[in-house]
Structure 1
């Protein structure tokens, strides 16, 4: 039987439409709930800073390790592939033992490997450190989304989903801004970006350690004790039931995440290379245009998350994906900075608009006892499939428009 507090995550479209307005529900949030939202957003921002630290540093890493761009982007691939390990490990621990300390340990370990990447002396060392970073990157998303969304009112969940997801865009903006303004002046060069990322992750871990455990996770444990079952028994039964009863749902979630991950990484990871190779943009213009794109992503995510509360999650995602197709000409055909910046803004508003609905959508379809594991593993498995096609797609794309 689904605990009462989790039934709210499974309400119908009609029930969502009859919910109270957004802003009164936001005013009802307590200081602890706001802090939980902020630390969840900050953790996802740390994840994104780490994820994009390589893609914004490709040129510097080429000069440092004397490798072509294709070899450097291997670090991106390894990071994405190892995410599934972290999603499975930290998601399972979080669903079994709580949201707080798994996330704290995850962030501390990620900061350690970020620090190590900043001191790597060979390309082999760098690849190994980035592979391990992928494990800890993969562990963050499922744990943070479950912790945040199960602790906010129903009426605000769509909007907060968009807020939370835009830690991703904020992380890109931070990585690009540091690479643009601090790295050229820093004594360590590109290494400074990884050291700053290390400090941000460590500070977020300390902040999360000061906050209490998820209230609703504690309530779930109390319900288990009332029913005279252990958390381990509940967790084991849920895993077996999910694999036996909901295997089609699992496949659907992985395919959905694979498609959306393809949209995200194909539109971001090597787009700066496309602008430099085919449009002749200077590095500063490229970095400014990508910052514009992530500002658009923030606006799109907040809007789509809020609208999904009224019109439904799937419809909001579908509309945003259709908008991605409509914006492609503006995204690739212009040659001027003004129109390219507009194209990037519109493209990312649609891509991240679709992503803004994903945290709450996966929370609603996840088995109750797997609220951290199911989304994280689906996301990581989707990454595996999309990564197999992103790099070849983009290199063919660049070659075609050269």
Structure 2
């Protein structure tokens, strides 16, 4: 785009980056790094692309692109169903194991705590060996662990199984969103990111529907877990018969020598050394976001059952409508972020969610709680709808499987006590419930916590980077030998150094010839 106004280079350093990001937030044009065919990079101001019809955006995906997207979406949905099968049945499980609701929420804490370990292992496996087989293994083992939960006879066995569940659950997100989004055309990514993130909300909706269908009997929680196990194992089997990510295969083909384990791990360490500020920033951002979702939803069904005195059916219906709002909001705001900007979309969504807090916790009866829950989650998950593509664009290009998954799950690990904290604080304070009896103060606790978190998200996002429209699909995979430096680093031999020098000389000659032309 020759007519675009030149922009200052992207700032270096924490304070300089924050200052530049804050100023850029209030400028409609986007600061974009542009690299020409000679590898020369400069920054310029670009106008955001006009919003396009979502149907036309979806039509830009080929049949194979849609297949990859649906695999990522449904795997993420099954993963969310597995998790929410526990969180929406805290009341039943507390009765089944004769424990307090705070004790049961310990299982949620352990699951979230250990997801980061699985994200690191399976995310790096996805970058090294592909998106397919790590996901297959993940999904089948998750189903088996759901069945193991059903047969946990004691509370200690229950906690042990849920800890293992967290390890394997952590590996799904990074590979799922890489598989889904790296095959999407650039202009469709904002919209498709919003749709993709709603796999999490869809998992909640289907878990709530299952909970509604099985009734309120204490032992009925097992049926929901059987359904969850079937979904995960089914997705693992389906994934076996589908191809590897197109771009992962093409990235691997870019290397004449294939991949090297030494080069892969060396490149991983080098990425962390160079991008540690970005790694820390994304972990902080995802910590806020995970507090955001878990604080505003994990105890909401319990809130309606206790403080608002709804029965199981009423609370389940309200939970379903709440997450329908999440699906709608995430899709719409994710779509708008392509035009509005990733950071502006997140900041505005978090602001509106904060303003809605009183209307969210004060209503009485199923109708009012359903409506307020719908709009609250419209904006909570609306902000979340931007996250898949925002993380992919911020990621070092060769680490699109591991980087989003690890930063997301480390944030999950740090925020893992969120449900336990809400339950502990709420149960330590009594308010008068809708039935006139003392009840745990879930409403005030969730309201205050969510207000603090929404402010944290707005501040962190406003001072952070953005790389909307980044063409990460053109980059090679991690560890692929494509340059002389790789050969020299991996062999350390005189032959490798000779090959390295030869490749460097050839590349230099090409650039000189291109400039002359």
TM-score computed with the length of structure 2 as normaliser: 0.72
Partner of 1:362: 391
SS in structure 2 at match of 1:387: coil
What is the root-mean-square deviation of aligned Cα atoms in Å? Answer: 2.4
CA displacement at 1:253 relative to structure 2? 0.3
Higher helix share: 1
Go from structure 1 to structure 2 and tell me whether the alpha carbon gap of 1:317 and 1:400 turns closer, same or farther (over 3 Å shift): farther
Higher mean Cα deviation, 160-169 or 24-33? Answer: 24-33
Alpha-carbon distance between aligned partners in 1 of 2:398 and 2:373, rounded to the nearest angstrom: 39
Partner of 1:140: 172
Unaligned runs of 5+ in 1: none
SS in structure 1 at match of 2:264: helix
CA displacement at 1:210 relative to structure 2? 1.3
CA displacement at 1:155 relative to structure 2? 1.2
Residue from 338, 342, 348 that aligns with 1:313? 342
Alpha-carbon distance between aligned partners in 2 of 1:39 and 1:337, rounded to the nearest angstrom: 35
Go from structure 1 to structure 2 and tell me whether the alpha carbon gap of 1:369 and 1:233 turns closer, same or farther (over 3 Å shift): farther
Partner of 2:74: 42
Partner of 1:385: 414
1:266 aligns with 2:295: yes
Partner of 1:328: 357
Alpha-carbon distance between aligned partners in 2 of 1:340 and 1:25, rounded to the nearest angstrom: 35
Partner of 1:174: 206
Partner of 1:189: 220
The answer to whether the 8 Å contact 2:109/2:419 transfers is no
Higher relative contact order (CA 8 A, sep 6+): 1
Partner of 2:382: 353
1:59 aligns with 2:88: no
CA displacement at 1:22 relative to structure 2? 4.3
The answer to whether the 8 Å contact 2:252/2:258 transfers is no
Alpha-carbon distance between aligned partners in 1 of 2:265 and 2:78, rounded to the nearest angstrom: 31
CA displacement at 1:391 relative to structure 2? 2.8
Alpha-carbon distance between aligned partners in 2 of 1:339 and 1:19, rounded to the nearest angstrom: 34
The answer to whether the 8 Å contact 1:59/1:69 transfers is yes
Deviations 1:50-102 (CA, angstroms, capped at 9, x unpaired): 11111122222122211111111111111111101110111010000001111
Higher mean Cα deviation, 320-329 or 334-343? Answer: 334-343
Partner of 2:151: 119
Deviations 1:326-359 (CA, angstroms, capped at 9, x unpaired): 1101111122322221110011011100111100
Unaligned runs of 5+ in 2: 1-33, 432-440, 442-517
CA displacement at 1:206 relative to structure 2? 1.5
CA displacement at 1:292 relative to structure 2? 0.8
Greater gyration radius: 2
Aligned length: 393
TM-score computed with the length of structure 1 as normaliser: 0.92
Go from structure 1 to structure 2 and tell me whether the alpha carbon gap of 1:59 and 1:231 turns closer, same or farther (over 3 Å shift): same
Alpha-carbon distance between aligned partners in 2 of 1:80 and 1:12, rounded to the nearest angstrom: 41
Partner of 1:207: 238
The answer to whether the 8 Å contact 2:108/2:416 transfers is no
The answer to whether the 8 Å contact 2:60/2:188 transfers is no
The answer to whether the 8 Å contact 1:44/1:144 transfers is yes
Deviations 1:24-67 (CA, angstroms, capped at 9, x unpaired): 34223222211211111110111111111111222221222111
Alpha-carbon distance between aligned partners in 2 of 1:348 and 1:163, rounded to the nearest angstrom: 15
Residue from 238, 247, 250 that aligns with 1:219? 250
Go from structure 1 to structure 2 and tell me whether the alpha carbon gap of 1:126 and 1:199 turns closer, same or farther (over 3 Å shift): same
SS in structure 1 at match of 2:237: helix
CA displacement at 1:174 relative to structure 2? 1.0
